[in-house]
Chains A and B, each alone.
Chain A
């Protein structure tokens, strides 16, 4: 016992034992000057000085640190001499890539990768979307006027086909977007299409039809109309998205005039299609105020199972697993606690606003904006405010 204590005391100052020099990292650290003083700044969150053991360990680590920062900016994959080009024409509804557009770019990526080719995308000039992360190698901007002009767009696609000579031309199968433009292009070129493609590989494209009962398999023709979720969106490294010279669109006779979007009765369209839903649950007792709030905001009405069971709303308005699975851009819930079945129904909602008296309700956890208040007080205030802002006080 005593012998051990002596040995310890001896070794600590001299660090010589049996002829070997023993390293004392703690002593070295304390004697060395702080190598990077900037690192010991107080943490903004807690205000405490944060210890950085890696910085204190000295300059031999600094090299790897700088290597790591270089590696953190991901390299962009460049394709210099592609074997072929795959032209994708995304819908870009209000200037953004939709999830269907991303699936389309995934299909283009799949065809390009198997043929060692490159993905080119036709966009209106000045589109703000970031295409490098969407697996795009070349960007072909076309001088297109804003607004709905399918004939001008068809002319632009035909000009792009003449310029790039792509192996495949891909459209998103949407009724008034890519599905329309793609068929116009196919009719102008007198070619066949593979429509509603639900599965795609380099050898085979499967078109779903016969009322959804059959798949029609064939070699992928030049023009492909890709259904949503047919392929996964492109993932992985960033691509170059090199912009090509702006393409002037040849003048085409325009026989269709765009009159713009028109206001429609939101309750006239099916709930699954609705863009903005105001929904009521068990916490709503003042139904006149609820209908008034929905009308003032121009939203479709929905309800939980409880509200529909009680007969306050028709069954077609029920949101949830046993009602309608809705995907509006915004879902405003009054007095809904958020049963799991109801939350399943709003799983695809982009934004949720909840007004509820219970702070611990699941709907409050799900919400992007949660208000702990009585719906009966908030609904009239909201409709009054909306009417004032719209028509003046």
Chain B
């Protein structure tokens, strides 16, 4: 029996041209769902305007249908999505980590999981169906990956570290259909927030607040120097042993036998 997968899609924006397009993280969620192949029955969902041209980008990836819950601009889409998903009860819900437009707080997956009673996997990069539920790799900083698993139903947010979305094809976009469901509009988004253009902030310099004035001056002007162990013309084996021991000592390599 195929697993029912719902993919939540939002409208992204190109960073330079500001034109609407598929959101990068949501397109990756579609890619992960399509990679499940015949083991998954994919339903793509979008809450907003059915005439949105960016939806063609998702159809061009190979989705057959996108279901659009018609909602006016500037209203909270959470009630509509929660109502629809509570009715259709998919076992797995995939979406990007945060929206690319508006104040993308990244709260929607958490509120949805809370409303549907689903487990939540954050920031996943790979996905597999296991016997008991869902196995996934979670993307951690520094390129590390953690294996996690969760029982169904699960909602997973897809990280930008997951595989890049497949290329868009015009014929596939033409073949795809958009189904519209009319739902009552949600409440307007709370308006006590003031928006202003982002000011770039310089990266912080290394701070030296403690110590004497001479120490602070030295910290600000001196070339950053290492601990400075020096081996001059060692035998290659001796040099290799010194490097290996240093890497072990600093915990870069795990001690032999542990891995």
Query: Which of B107, B138, B190, B241 interacts with A176 by CB under 8 Å?
Result: B138
Instruction: Verify B246–A353 contact, CB threshold 8 A.
Output: yes
Given A187-B113, A188-B114, A368-B227: A213 and B239 interface contact (C-beta under 8 Å):
no
Answer whether residue A55 sits at the interface, using C-beta atoms and an 8 A cutoff: no
CB distance from A230 to the nearest CB of B (A): 9
Given A256-B119, A372-B233: A366 and B250 interface contact (C-beta under 8 Å):
no
Answer whether residue B141 sits at the interface, using C-beta atoms and an 8 A cutoff: yes
Q: Which of B143-180 contact A (CB under 8 A)?
A: 143-151, 154, 159, 161
Given A266-B143, A368-B227, A369-B243: A215 and B114 interface contact (C-beta under 8 Å):
no
Answer whether residue B188 sits at the interface, using C-beta atoms and an 8 A cutoff: no
Complex CA–CA separation, A224 to B11 (angstroms): 26
Answer whether residue B201 sits at the interface, using C-beta atoms and an 8 A cutoff: yes
Instruction: Verify B122–A187 contact, CB threshold 8 A.
Output: no
Q: Which of B227-252 contact A (CB under 8 A)?
A: 227-234, 236-237, 239-244, 246-247, 250, 252
Instruction: Verify A369–B159 contact, CB threshold 8 A.
Output: no
The segment out of B28-36, B79-87, B218-226 that lies at the interface is: B218-226
Query: Which of A199, A210, A264, A385 interacts with B237 by CB under 8 Å?
Result: A385
Instruction: Verify B15–A211 contact, CB threshold 8 A.
Output: yes
Given A229-B201, A275-B144, A369-B242: A193 and B226 interface contact (C-beta under 8 Å):
no
Answer whether residue A192 sits at the interface, using C-beta atoms and an 8 A cutoff: yes
Query: How many residues does chain B have at the interface if contact means C-beta atoms less than 8 Å apart?
Result: 82
Query: Which of A199, A262, A351 interacts with B250 by CB under 8 Å?
Result: A351
Complex CA–CA separation, A283 to B50 (angstroms): 60
Instruction: Verify B148–A179 contact, CB threshold 8 A.
Output: no
The 0/1 profile, CB within 8 Å of B marked 1, for residues 250-282 of chain A is: 000001111111111010111001111000000
Answer whether residue B6 sits at the interface, using C-beta atoms and an 8 A cutoff: no
Q: Which residues of B contact A195 (CB under 8 A)?
A: 105-107
Instruction: Verify A209–B224 contact, CB threshold 8 A.
Output: no
Instruction: Verify B229–A368 contact, CB threshold 8 A.
Output: yes
Q: Which residues of A contact B140 (CB under 8 A)?
A: 176, 261
Instruction: Verify A274–B149 contact, CB threshold 8 A.
Output: no
Instruction: Verify A384–B240 contact, CB threshold 8 A.
Output: yes
Complex CA–CA separation, A82 to B244 (angstroms): 51
Q: Which residues of B contact A183 (CB under 8 A)?
A: 106-107, 110
Complex CA–CA separation, A332 to B101 (angstroms): 41
Q: Which residues of B contact A256 (CB under 8 A)?
A: 119-121, 148-150
The 0/1 profile, CB within 8 Å of B marked 1, for residues 161-187 of chain A is: 000000000000011100110011011
Instruction: Verify B102–A378 contact, CB threshold 8 A.
Output: no
Instruction: Verify A369–B198 contact, CB threshold 8 A.
Output: no
Q: How large is the interface on A (under 10, 10 to 19, 20 to 34, 35 or more residues)?
A: 35 or more
Q: Which residues of B contact A386 (CB under 8 A)?
A: 244, 253
Given A186-B110, A198-B201, A366-B225: A257 and B192 interface contact (C-beta under 8 Å):
no
Closest residue on chain B to residue A346 by CB atoms: B224
Q: Which residues of B contact A384 (CB under 8 A)?
A: 240
Complex CA–CA separation, A188 to B228 (angstroms): 51
Q: Which residues of B contact A270 (CB under 8 A)?
A: 143
Dominant secondary structure of chain A at its interface with chain B? mixed
CB distance from A96 to the nearest CB of B (A): 11
Q: Which of A201-239 contact B (CB under 8 A)?
A: 207-219, 229, 232-233, 235-236
Instruction: Verify B244–A382 contact, CB threshold 8 A.
Output: yes
CB distance from A256 to the nearest CB of B (A): 5
Complex CA–CA separation, A261 to B207 (angstroms): 33
The 0/1 profile, CB within 8 Å of B marked 1, for residues 322-335 of chain A is: 00000011101000
CB distance from A379 to the nearest CB of B (A): 9
Interface residues of A (CB under 8 A from B): 148, 150, 174-176, 179-180, 183-184, 186-188, 192-193, 195, 198-199, 207-219, 229, 232-233, 235-236, 255-264, 266, 268-270, 273-276, 297-298, 300, 328-330, 332, 347, 351-353, 355, 359, 364-373, 377-378, 380-382, 384-386, 389-390
Interface residues of B (CB under 8 A from A): 13, 15, 97-98, 100-107, 110-111, 113-114, 119-123, 135, 137-151, 154, 159, 161, 190, 192-199, 201, 203-204, 207, 209-210, 223-234, 236-237, 239-244, 246-247, 250, 252-253, 256, 259
What are 17 residue pairs bridging A and B, where the CB atoms are less than 8 Å apart in the complex? A175-B122, A175-B159, A176-B138, A187-B114, A188-B114, A195-B105, A209-B98, A209-B102, A209-B104, A210-B104, A210-B195, A211-B101, A213-B197, A255-B119, A353-B247, A370-B226, A382-B244
